[in-house]
Amino acid sequence: MKRRLLLSTFACLLFVNVFLGFRFYSVRAATPEEDTGYAQISVFAKAVQLIRQDYVDSKKTSYHDLIYAAMKGMLASLDPHSQFMEPDDFKDMQDDTRSRFNGLGIEVSVKNGLLTVITPMEDTPAAKAGILSGDQILRINGNSTERMELQDAVNVLRGVPGQKVTLTMLRPSTKEIKDYVLDRVEIKVQSVKGVRLLDPELGGPFKIGYVRLIQFNEPTANELEKALDELRQQGMQALVLDLRNNPGGLLNSAVDVCGRFLPPNTTVVSTQGRAGSQQSEYATSSSGKQRPQFPMTVLVNEGSASGSEIVAGALKDLKRAIIVGETTFGKGSVQNVIQLPDGSALRFTTAKYYTPGKQVIHANGVAPNIRVPLTSEQERALFTARSSDNLKPEDEKDLIKTKDPQMLRAIDALKGVMIYAQEMSPKIEAVKK
């Protein structure tokens, strides 16, 4: 009986091996001494050959599809910010730097393994729906994002205007899970907004200017310069620069923005990587226009990332501005984008950013001089109001007084600096005499 059972078991195993069609191949692995690249490429080539030869669905085994899939996996295995971009994805990235694209208005990244909103961009469906920085995207159109690559998520969020996208979001601060049904639209980002002198009731005896930067793209620095000239003509004595929920953008744009507040040839950020070519310092232009050193505060929060962190870190370390708000996102790595012959591109991390005080930005962020948190309710009220096209000056003043303690603290800091300067000025003059 026992022998019959053994024979029966062997027969079952034989049946499984025959009818499941297992076929075993042997490819010699490279030894560490042979790890010159050529040996591993031969292994890869053999794998592609076997898949093309025997995979059940021939429609999925073109060289184009297999090689593209391999490159996506290769870049995704490095870090959340490295990626392989197909030609259309690369074109979308180029459109971003020119301030136009189709989508929902959400900047996303992977944080702690989760697809996370860096910021909802103003005047977009995401901001108007009440999505906030730090919200986590659990599902897109019902599909889990748990193992979704960042670029695949971005491709779904973007697309043809007019189509609806359903996002299932988790808000960590409240543990609330909510579905948002949003329409894709054509998004044109105006990088400089809200240029004005603050209401005298807020500024008191001082004329305090306000500028909000939405992101750092090609025209940002020039637009900012025009805004500062306009405010100076109105008698501005101090400035609040709002970088809250600014996800960053172009490195050169961030450096040029620093040049509007710092002397020429001032190093504002450095990079350090494995290769010697990645050890670089970026300084303000030698031909930059020197501006009066008016007092200045910078508003930041968790949605301030990349270029925003470069500007905030530089102005903080160089004692040019007081940073107010919350610690920034912590996206301080350098990605090189290299176009390939077929129009696709590699985007991969080559270095990390360091502030002038040699503080690493990546994963740490930039800590404010004055920490002022916002509640979820305050943040929602602020950014919902900013997405409104009909907010009256009186309503905005009331909103700041009731919902924006960060702005109030920034204004108070500027008032303190200017009052101190006024009191010290006669004493300094007396000493000179």
Write out the catalytic residue numbers. Answer: 306, 317, 331
User: Judging by DSSP bridges, how do beta strands 136-140 and 143-144 pair with one another?
Assistant: antiparallel
First to last CA, the chain: 117
For 87, list phi and psi in degrees, rounded to 5: -50, -40
User: Among residues 203, 192, 270, 201, which one has the least CA distance to residue 230?
Assistant: 192
Dist CA 347 CA 85 (whole Å): 7
In which region does residue 204 sit, left (phi positive, over 0), alpha (psi from -120 to 50) or beta (all else)?
Answer: left
For 175, list phi and psi in degrees, rounded to 5: 65, 15
Q: Under DSSP, is residue 332 helix (H, G, I), strand (E, B) or coil?
A: coil
What are the residues whose beta carbons fall under 8 Å from the beta carbon of 82, sequence distance 6 or more? 75, 76, 335, 347, 348, 349
For 378, list phi and psi in degrees, rounded to 5: -65, -45
What are the residues whose beta carbons fall under 8 Å from the beta carbon of 281, sequence distance 6 or more? 267, 269, 270, 271
